[in-house]
Amino acid sequence: MKIEITGVGKRFRGRLGGEVEVLAGLDLTVYPKELFCLLGPNGCGKTTLLNMLAGFDTPTSGRITMGGRTVREPGPAAMMIQQEYGLFPWRTVQGNVEYGLEIQGVKTGARRRRASEMIELVGLAEAAGRYPRELSAGMQQRLALARALVVEPRVLFMDEPFGALDAMTRHRMHGELLRIWREKGMTIVFVTHDFNEALLLADRVAVMNPRSGNIGKIITVDQPRPRDLLSPAATEAREAIHRALIEGFAAAP
């Protein structure tokens, strides 16, 4: 689904009174089935933007549309995977995945089956009866993915989805995400501050400027997957990201 962001700004009321401008006049288009990455330092407004895209927050100015419709509130067409997942500790793996289907009123039989298929897809079949606290960090991530995907969202938002994982698990999850993305064909927008993660996964990387909250440059990573981070193309893209970040810092107030 196509996401269009036009002239979006966001101001928050500051802690000491006055207003803090997090984003201003932001324009951006994410194309259908694209794997799009928002990259930037902490506090650049990545999460704020993602929250607005998913409908959890509304822009102070400008407009966000998804598939031509203005985003007003969160809904199952665009699922957000929160940074801490927010898995329901009182439900098993199966129960967590079934939640979204329960809300949509899917009948018990179909619900069981669809949830099981999704659990299979993320490789958690053996753990279907376990509770989230009995899962490793990597398995929790898979569960969060399965729970979101079971309602067949057209768009997936991910806020630093792999931040809590160790390097090896993260590597494996990158592969899993790409496999699922190819199979399901949804649009993915994810936030990270990890260069390599952006280079490994994204079709395009938007480098956000610190503080000002605008997008400095959009870098296209034109390379087939699985990608080699040491290839000349990857090196070139990494340098471009680096330059964009440095320019952003230099321009920051």
Partner 1 sequence: MNAPLPRKSQPPPVPPETELQQQPVFRMPVLAGERVLFPLLALAGFLLLWQAAAAWYANDYLLPGPAAVLLALVEVGRSGMLLEHIGVSLYRFTAGYLLAVLLALPLGMLLGWYSRLHRAFDPLIQILRPISPVAWFPLAVLWFKIGDLPAIFIIFIASFFPVLLTTIAAVRGVDRIYIRVARNFGSTDWDLLRKVVVPAAFPAITVGLHIALGVGWIHLVAGEMLGAQSGLGYFIIDARNFLRTDLVIAGMLLVGVMGLILDRLMSWAERQVWSRW
224 counts as binding partner 1 under rule CB under 8 A = no
135 counts as binding partner 1 under rule CB under 8 A = yes
- 158-183: b (≥16 Cβ within 10 Å) or e: bbbbbeebeeebbebbbebbbebbee
183 counts as binding partner 1 under rule CB under 8 A = no
Binding residue for partner 1, selected from 19, 27, 134, 239, defined by CB under 8 A: 134
Report the candidate in 157, 250, 158 with the shortest Cα–Cα distance to residue 209: 250
**27/117 with CB nearer partner 1:** 117
**106/215 with CB nearer partner 1:** 106
**41/76 with CB nearer partner 1:** 76
Binding residue for partner 1, selected from 14, 175, 239, 251, defined by CB under 8 A: 175
At 167, list the tokens.
């390097």
Stretch that binds partner 1, among 7-15, 168-176, 208-216, 241-249 (CB under 8 A): 168-176
Binding residue for partner 1, selected from 41, 67, 131, 203, defined by CB under 8 A: 131
DSSP states along 194-237: -HHHHHHH-SEEEEEPTTT--EEEEEE---PSSP-TTSHHHHHH
Please report, as residue ranges, which positions from 10 to 69 form the binding site for partner 1 (by CB under 8 A): 54, 56
Q: How far is CA 152 from CA 70, 96, 173, 230, in A?
A: 20, 15, 20, 35
Binding residue for partner 1, selected from 19, 27, 29, 102, defined by CB under 8 A: 102
Q: How far is the CB of 252 from partner 1 (least distance, A)?
A: 30
**179/242 with CB nearer partner 1:** 179
99 counts as binding partner 1 under rule CB under 8 A = yes
SS3 9: strand
Q: How far is the CB of 76 from partner 1 (least distance, A)?
A: 5
Cis preceding linkage at 226, omega within 30: yes
Phi and psi at 44, nearest 5°, equal: -95, -5
89 counts as binding partner 1 under rule CB under 8 A = yes
Stretch that binds partner 1, among 63-71, 128-136, 213-221, 228-236 (CB under 8 A): 128-136
Q: Are 176 and 142 in contact (CB under 8 A)?
A: yes
Q: Left, alpha or beta for 79 (phi > 0: left; psi -120 to 50: alpha)?
A: beta
Residue 150 exposed, middle or buried by CB count within 10 Å (0-12, 13-18, 19+): buried
CA dihedral 27, 29, 34, 40 (to 10 degrees): 0
**29/104 with CB nearer partner 1:** 104
181 counts as binding partner 1 under rule CB under 8 A = no
Using CB under 8 A, list all residues that contact partner 1.
54, 56, 73-76, 79-80, 82, 84, 86, 88-91, 99-100, 102-104, 123, 125-127, 131, 133-139, 148, 151, 172, 175-176, 178-179
